[in-house]
Amino acid sequence: MYGDKTLDLLKQRRGFTNYFLEIRRFVMGLPQVAIVGRPNVGKSSIFNWLAQKRLAIVDDQAGVTRDRLSYLMCHSDRYFELIDTGGIGCEDVDNLTEQIEDQIQAAIDSADVILFVVDTQTGAMPLDDEVAKRLRHAIDTPVLCVANKTDNESLDPSADGFYKLGRGRLVRTSVKQNRGRSTLLDLIVERLPETVDVDDATDSVTETHAKIAIVGRRNVGKSTFINELAGTERVIVSEVPGTTRDSIDVRFEIDGKVFTAIDTPGLRRKKSVKTDIDFYGLHRAQRSIRRSDVVLMFFDAGQRISKVDKQLCETIANQYKPCIFVVNKWDLNAASMPTEKWVQYLHDTFRTMPYVPIAFITAKTGKNVKALVNHSQMLFKQAQSRASTSMLNKILRSALEHNPPPLDHHHQSKIYYATQVSVRPPTIVMFCKNPKSFSAPYRRYLLRAMRDNLECSEVPIKLYLRSRDRDDQRDEVAAASK
């Protein structure tokens, strides 16, 4: 439990008036470190340099990096996810500027530490000022200003010119000369959120403040569901599709437990987004998924699954969010399509999400609504579950005996041990002989084996495969059989 002194510090830290928000930051999942900056300052070079692997494409042409790239890092026994982003302010030649900006903003929104990369050899540019202004909105996120291409001490005075940007501690680095890597990693680790075991967090935070995002395409009954939860007309309900145009937070209580429901605008196909209201509604809905603890993905029992539904589920899966497929308006369609057929329909459509539970409700009458919320709370707890290293390795040993890994150049692939490094989502690092030899289907098999034997059977698990360090001789999977 937190002591009174700790709670007082949390209340004061960075100006938070609601210390519950800060405690929740401590028990969130794997910390994320986002690399941002204008084009051609060396963000991808920094990413590869810190990871010590050639993961991102490095090119003098601006705009090569589009999607967010991520890599699991470990420094001073702290795990974190390093994220590379595209250049802020770059006009993409393939008209993907909007999508690239979405990826950058998502990285900034979810970051625990931001690396603001600038170029010492070109000096401060007007676009650097624009990036600095954009980062000022992330007032609670520590920022390190990384003056890249500071190849030697004679360039240090030039790097000092970036102090005027006013964004975080200045760190002088050079990928080319391998200068400042350890210093930068040390500073990153110093700024990561403190680690607090979920079991030590207060019950009032881990149990009563789950954020539940209600998402789905237009007119599937999301607002009706919200009003049923709140017991009042909190949001407008209309047969006109698209009535809800903003993300609305509604606080409600069931059986003494407090929740926040996030009602989101109904999504439509991108080619149908014609107005600014639709555009911002789409972005707010996506942001609601990112900041939620559990997602309720609504379907209309009388409608077929659409392309928008598939895109939404892809977003949910990519964010590793616990999810429940909710088939609404069941009272109108129960006679025409049995639940078994809908269950099979969902499983056949979303084959990569077999762990997602399915609920059948009628929001208008409140049927099964309370049971759905209780199930959401269960998923919230599952996402915070932890497994001991010994338990993971026993599960792996059994899985390997039942279905050995594929051969790697006529040699048997080998897994040495696994350990859980974070929660929400449960994040497991598996150390093996050659990570590339494990195919996607076999990785899914290992995930299924862990999900079947751990307390997180209905939530996504994030799995990393890594090579074992040369000085690491542990082989706990083999030891588990003795």
**pLDDT tens track for 195-239:** 654 444 434 344 447 899 999 988 899 888 988 887 644 333 333
**405 and 366 within one domain:** no
Count structural domains, the chain: 3
Each residue of 115-140: pLDDT tens digit?
A: 999 999 999 999 999 899 888 887 78
In this structure, what CATH number is given to the domain that contains residue 239? 3.40.50.300
Last-in-domain residue among 341, 357, 382:
382
Each residue of 265-299: pLDDT tens digit?
A: 655 555 544 444 344 456 667 778 888 999 999 99
Q: What confidence score (pLDDT) does residue 104 get?
A: 83
Would you say residue 179 has pLDDT above 90?
Answer: yes
Q: Which two tokens stand for residue 355?
A: 């762990």
% of the chain beyond a pLDDT of 70: 77
- From residue 116, alpha-carbon distances to 70, 162, 166 in Å are 16, 11, 11
**230 and 115 within one domain:** no
**342 and 214 within one domain:** yes
**378 and 294 within one domain:** yes
**220 and 80 within one domain:** no
Would you say residue 56 has pLDDT above 80?
Answer: no
For residue 316, being part of any structural domain is answered with yes
3-class secondary-structure state, position 359? strand
For residue 80, being part of any structural domain is answered with yes
Give the chain's length: 482
Last-in-domain residue among 134, 165, 191:
191
CB atoms within 10 A of CB 264: 27
Cβ-Cβ contacts under 8 Å for 426 (sequence gap 6 or more): 383, 385, 386, 387, 420, 454, 456, 459, 461, 462
**133 and 162 within one domain:** yes
Give the least confident one: 321-330, 398-407, 465-474. Answer: 465-474
Residue showing tokens 């920022």: 143
Q: 413 is in which domain, residue-wise?
A: 389-479
**357 and 248 within one domain:** yes
Q: What confidence score (pLDDT) does residue 255 get?
A: 79
Q: What confidence score (pLDDT) does residue 334 get?
A: 76
For residue 359, being part of any structural domain is answered with yes
Would you say residue 27 has pLDDT above 90?
Answer: no
> Average model confidence (pLDDT) for the chain?
80
For residue 94, being part of any structural domain is answered with yes
Q: Does the predicted model carry a pTM greater than 0.95?
A: no
**173 and 37 within one domain:** yes
Residue 146 phi, psi dihedral angles, 5° rounding: -100, 105
**287 and 143 within one domain:** no
**144 and 74 within one domain:** yes
For residue 372, being part of any structural domain is answered with yes
β-bridge partners, 211: 260
**397 and 375 within one domain:** no
Q: What confidence score (pLDDT) does residue 279 get?
A: 45
Summarize the confidence of residues 163-170 as an average pLDDT.
85
Q: In what order do the strands lie in the sheet with 415-422?
A: 415-422, 427-432, 462-467
**273 and 130 within one domain:** no
Q: What confidence score (pLDDT) does residue 95 get?
A: 46
Last-in-domain residue among 333, 366, 382:
382
